[in-house]
Amino acid sequence: MPAGKSSAAANCESAVIWLEQQLAIGQVTAGEIQPLSFDPLRRAAVSSAGGPLRLPVLDKRQLRRVIQYLTQRRRLAASLLEPLLHSGKLYADPRGNAVFVLVAGRVERPVGAELRGTGGRVWRGLAPGTRKDEGYFWIGTRAARDIVLCESAIDAISCFQLDPRRICISTAGVRCHPRWLPGLLARSYHVHCGFDTDDAGTNVEWDKPDNHGTEGGNVTYCDGHAAWLPNNKHNFEWNRTRDLNRFPQY
């Protein structure tokens, strides 16, 4: 729990986040909100138990909004979006969310969807019943032998835009060992990690036998020396080296 935040405030915040997610994916409407009967812990337990996949419905009227968001705000090339839209791996839902479909197998059976809000406030989520361990969102050519794992569908498209010689896959959140990864490794793909260099992206246990992972990691400084830092010192060191902490602010 963040410092200075009471358990009641934390529970309230989690409730608000849950409600915003349900409104965004259309599972709850404003007229259906029942504050007295709301129980976020019970809802979380039900959601984690799984259930049938419920992909958002397609709304072509919101497509322009989604395309504008992806091309103007996320700087993705329209030429990369066209085949995704044509194949149904990308579409817009009635609330203007961008829907990126997770698929499995050669027939690309839908097994879930990443949702990304296109409004002024950052929002992301998953379609109810999504099974991230069964499939993934991907972009690229099947003949490629190099795969880059990314944290989100938008990151995967951005990665492919930078290097179209590779297949770019979204893990739908930072995960170190999705169940479908061994299958790709067994087919002799060269797999690269394209996660962000934030705490979530760098603290994942990709190399369990060595000193990387949840306890800390090796850090190389600009003067060339390297040191192993526990996670509780990582943020302090990173903040201390930022320019805004080294120069007067006017």
Residues 183-220: tens digit of each pLDDT: 888 898 988 888 766 554 555 544 444 444 556 666 66
Does the predicted model carry a pTM greater than 0.85?
A: no
pLDDT cut 90: percent of the chain above it: 42
Cα 27 from Cα 21, distance rounded (Å): 9
- Give the pLDDT of residue 248: 45
- Give the pLDDT of residue 181: 87
Per-residue pLDDT at 231 exceeds 70: no
Confidence of residue 142 (pLDDT cuts 50, 70, 90): confident
Give residue 233's identity as a one-letter amino acid code. K
Residues whose CB is less than 8 angstroms from the CB of residue 205 and which lie 6 or more positions away in sequence, other chains included: 176, 177, 212, 213, 214
- Give the pLDDT of residue 152: 93
Q: 82 and 70 in contact (C-beta within 8 Å)?
A: no
- Give the pLDDT of residue 192: 87
Cα 30 from Cα 20, distance rounded (Å): 11
* Tokens of residue 99, six digits: 């829907």
